[in-house]
Amino acid sequence: MNRFSRFLRCIILPACIPSIINAAESHLLKAEDFKHHIEQFNTNDRELYKGAIDNAAAWEFLRERMPLFECPDADITLSYYFRWWTYRKHIKKTPAGFIVDEFLPDVSWAGKYNSINCAAGHHIYEGRWLRDTAILDDYDAFWFGKGGNPRSYSFWAADAIWQRYCVTGDNSEALRLLPALIANFGEWEKSRRDANGLYWQIDDRDGMEASIGGSGYRATINSYQFGDARAIANIAELAGKTNVATEFRQKAASIKTLVQEKLWDADAQFFKVLPRGENTQLVDVRELHGFTPWYFNLPDPQFHVAWKQLTDSRGFAAPFGFTTAEQRHPQFALSYQGHECQWNGPVWPYATSITLTGLANLLNGPAQDVISARDYFAALRTYAKSQRLKLDDGRIVPWIDENQNPLTGDWISRTRLKSWKNNTWDAGKGGEERGKDYNHSTFCDLVITGLCGLRPRADNTVEVNPLTPVEWPYFCIDRIPYHGHELSIFYDAGGTRYNKGKGLHVLVDGHEISSSKTPRRLTAPLPLRPTQ
């Protein structure tokens, strides 16, 4: 065992992983077949900043922990492995344990250990699929008692912790943090809830500075509070605290009513910002964050009409992704002046992740005729293809950064920051390549829960509903940690790629529990305990 192997097994590898690794004989995909992606990412990389696992150790770390994935689309496949490679960079060992950071270099607006809670919900949704629970155990605890500030920015903390439990099946972390989650919710009520029952937020504290709609009662913070209230109710139910569960279900119901009654523009058919104050009116702009309520399954069916805007080129559809404001609005801008991070037009992967998670939720709900699974796939593919950069030598490499020009694919803040201080990068703004490998969004979670269709649940049931194209001859997501088991989901039109039969199949610990001739929703109970 080399020095790094000993290091990994000493500080990272928890006791739960060996029992999963021992199931290797049941794997459909071979990890070594995907090693070349990681090696190529390393070759292309200028490793300016290092976390707990450097590039030299990236493959050894990921080989043991990430679910394996293949499909006929090269862009989605490449971006899937690229995003695990970048996520690994942001795992940091601190005196408080592991955390997951947003920027690789230190930035002046971060908290302890360069932590920022703005995208922490994304970090937890993404990282819950790694076969290493120690990392997020530490990270969850960091926000509640080990130096983190969970209210510096808006943050759907309780929801993310609940959704993580729906993957791991281990409720100990959620139960332990329940008092802190309740207290956190109460502090949001004190600081951001007005007498009308709605929560308000400054757009910058939503991580959405320079937005057209501005500050006020936003669909973002109100949806986050709805999601957290519902999650706290669920965790309280697990803890046997029925009074607390009832209280927070009532809070969630109240927020839902207010969002649908006060933040919905019936004429524009969209959720909008309502400025604070007496006799104010909803702003006149549709913004991408108006889809946030679907991230938490908040809206009733009559509000689904809002999704028409997603595929409208006058709305949010653009060649390189979703614009953050509707393109028909006179204040829509793609500016290279002023603040380098503006939410008045550019593509933001953070918002793309919220939107695509919400869309997958919608497509997994009651039937509707506003938007389709094909639209989901097209958007995910655009998102995958947009994560690229053309280097000075002409090579095009995988890349994720801050904000992106929706018409050209240029990474706006990077282009601007490079020009500052005589072409040296401003140390006060984070230094050289501040936004490179930016950890402010999800992608792997979208592939697993949306495209491949694994819908995490708290009960002892596996639910799968792929949103893949009907013409795909195959796809496979393998080695998925789920409720103490290992799942494999695959579709094989001809039955010869995986040699386990034609159609859609769901395996638990190598044993089939459900199948179908065509990709469709499947549900089946989990075995009572993992197969050893």
pLDDT of the residue at 188: 98
Average pLDDT over residues 366-377: 98
Could you tell me the two tokens for 341?
């991070």
Q: Say which residue the tokens 């703005």 belong to.
A: 118
CB 293 within 8 A of CB 262: no
CB 143 within 8 A of CB 150: yes
**What phi and psi values does residue 470 have, to the nearest 5 degrees?**
-65, -25
CB 443 within 8 A of CB 383: yes
Q: Say which residue the tokens 């990077």 belong to.
A: 414
Residue 427 has pLDDT above 90, yes or no: no
* Per-residue pLDDT reduced to its tens digit, 111-130: 999 999 999 999 999 999 99
Average pLDDT over residues 374-401: 97
CB 370 within 8 A of CB 378: no
pLDDT band at 420 (very low <50, low <70, confident <90, very high): confident
Please give the helix or strand (H or E) that residue 375 lies within, else none: helix 373-386
pLDDT band at 25 (very low <50, low <70, confident <90, very high): low
Q: What angle do CA 235, 240, 242 make, to 5 degrees?
A: 85
DSSP assigned state of 459: S
CA–CA dist 178, 247 (Å, integer): 14
Q: Where are the alpha helices (DSSP H) in 90-218?
A: 120-127, 133-143, 157-168, 172-192
pLDDT of the residue at 529: 62
pLDDT of the residue at 24: 54
In the chain, % of residues over pLDDT 70: 94
Average pLDDT score over the chain: 94
Neighbours of 373 (CB within 10 A): 21
* Per-residue pLDDT reduced to its tens digit, 228-254: 999 999 999 999 999 999 999 999 999
CA–CA dist 95, 24 (Å, integer): 34
Strand, coil or helix: what is 441?
Answer: coil
Residue 532 has pLDDT above 90, yes or no: no
Kindly give the pairing relationship between strand 321-322 and strand 97-100: unpaired
CB 510 within 8 A of CB 478: no
pLDDT of the residue at 419: 87
360: Cα within 13 Å, side-chain hemisphere: 28
pLDDT of the residue at 429: 86
Please give the helix or strand (H or E) that residue 335 lies within, else none: none
In the chain, % of residues over pLDDT 90: 91
* Per-residue pLDDT reduced to its tens digit, 261-295: 999 999 999 999 999 999 999 999 999 999 999 99
Positive/negative CA dihedral, 448, 450, 453, 459: positive
Question: How many residues make up the chain in this entry?
Answer: 532
CB 216 within 8 A of CB 180: no
Beta strands in 321-473 (DSSP E): 321-322, 388-390, 396-398, 461-464
Query: If we measure between CA atoms, which residue out of 256, 255, 284 comes closest to residue 272?
Result: 284
CB 198 within 8 A of CB 258: yes
CB 360 within 8 A of CB 232: no
Average pLDDT over residues 396-410: 98
Could you tell me the two tokens for 348?
């933001």
Could you tell me the two tokens for 17?
């992983």
More reliable by pLDDT, 430 or 359: 359
Could you tell me the domains of the chain?
A: 40-443 (1.50.10.10)
Query: If we measure between CA atoms, which residue out of 227, 231, 291, 232 comes closest to residue 263?
Result: 291
pLDDT of the residue at 133: 96
For 90-107, the DSSP string reads: TEEEETTEEEE-S-SS--
pLDDT of the residue at 88: 98
